Structure 1
Amino acid sequence: MPSFDIVSEIDAPELLNAVDNSKRELGTRFDFKGVNADITLKDLTVTISTESDYQVNQIMDILIKNLVRRNIDTESMDADDKITHSGKTFSKNFTFAQGIDQATAKKIVKFIKDQKFKVQAAIQGDKLRVTGKKRDDLQTVIAALRGESMGLPLQFNNFRD
């Protein structure tokens, strides 16, 4: 039976490249000359820290621009609700989701069942496996999911005939 997997993964080397490019751009920007500003990446969490909350938003725009250049979907980025102020620095954390959580997986399975496709969807940890009798049915599911916004960037891999 033909099948494929639905996953949501972030390319960690590309994320590192986007953060490094943002750091380089900070070093060359005139409005950040003499300002203590930094972007760090640790365990798929990006931390922006600088001297004012306005500059945090400017650095966030630089980071998002570099993420888009590197084809990293910003839907997977989960930002803290507010900017933290500690002493002289303002900081904000962004976490990047890896894998599909249970609530989103159930939402995707419900979407597939509501559309009455002739396929079966099964949750397997942090990914979904979709199987069907015909390859065309699976391609229809992929097209429908690409058109629908699920709150996470979805990739379709491991397509087997």
Structure 2
Amino acid sequence: MMSAGLNCRLTEGAVRAEDLTKQQEEGIVADQSSFDVVSEVNMQEMKNVVDQATKEIKQRFDFKDSKTELTLKEKEKELVVLSDDEYKLNAVIEIIKTKCVKRGVSLKAFEYGKIEEALGATVRQVIKIQSGISSEKAKEITKAVKESKIKVQAQIQGEQVRVISKSKDDLQTAIAFLKGKDFGIDLQFTNYR
């Protein structure tokens, strides 16, 4: 009976040691807190934006008998806008922007391609939906954090930046600092622990 209880405690201790090792590998020590800086777009919200914009386009008189089409390519993270002419294409993009604002999708997440000719006397524009922080932007963010003189450390981890500090107040200050800066992309702050 005694050995089963001892075995259970040993197993729990091994799990805790395993968690500590994992945190140390990630650069987090027990007395430190952190958060991740990411740039992501909720694709379900993008679907809703496209659905609502398509519905409005079908109901508007100025788009009657036009060849206007919106196509969301989720895997490629692209939105393809097809319309009769440049004027209507720009009107569709304004509709998309309005719907994005209403649904809480940041307009900074879009990278607009050039307007090009398409088949059937139409024009097309591909809008890339940015996901993840590019290495250049990540370097820019870490540099800004280091130059801010806030007592935090910033590390680039793939397509995100992890900010670590012993003080949660310093992390809050770092979040406020990053929100005040414009890096040209939409930033979210996740995994605050």
Give the shorter-chain TM-score range: over 0.9
Per-residue CA shift, 1:81-118, capped at 9, x if unaligned? x2101241101010111010100000000000111111
Deviation readout 1:23-80 (Å, 9 max, x if unpaired): 0000000001111111110022111101111110000100110011110000010001
The residue type paired with residue 5 of structure 1 is: D
- Equivalent position SS for 1:72: coil
Matched, 1:39 2:99: no
* Higher relative contact order structure (alpha carbons within 8 Å, sequence separation ≥ 6): 1
Q: Look up the SS of the partner of 2:133 in the other structure.
A: coil
2:47 to 16, 21, 24: 16
TM-score calculated relative to the size of structure 1: 0.97
Q: Between Structure 1 and Structure 2, which shows a larger proportion of helix residues? A: 2
Identity over aligned pairs, percent: 38
Query: Over the residues paired in the alignment, what is the CA RMSD in angstroms?
Result: 0.7
1:120-143 alpha-carbon deviations (Å, 9 max, x no partner): 100000011110110000000000
Matches within 5 A, 1:2-151: 2-43=33-74, 44-80=77-113, 82-87=114-119, 88-151=121-184
- Look up the match of 1:159: 192
Q: Secondary structure at the match of 2:40?
A: coil
Amino acid paired to 1:86: A
In 1, the alpha carbon distance for the partners of 2:175 and 2:67 equals 46
The secondary structure found in structure 1 opposite 2:192 is strand
Q: 4+ residue runs of structure 1 moved beyond 4 angstroms?
A: none
Structure (1 or 2) with the greater strand fraction: 1
> For this pair of structures, how many residues does the alignment match?
159
SS of match in other structure, 1:156: strand
- Give the gaps of 5 or more residues in structure 2: 1-31
Say which SS state the counterpart of residue 191 (structure 2) adopts.
Answer: strand
Q: Distance in 2 between matches of 1:5 and 1:51?
A: 43
* Matching residue's letter, 2:87: Y
SS in 2 for 1:95: strand
- 2:8 corresponds in structure 1 to none
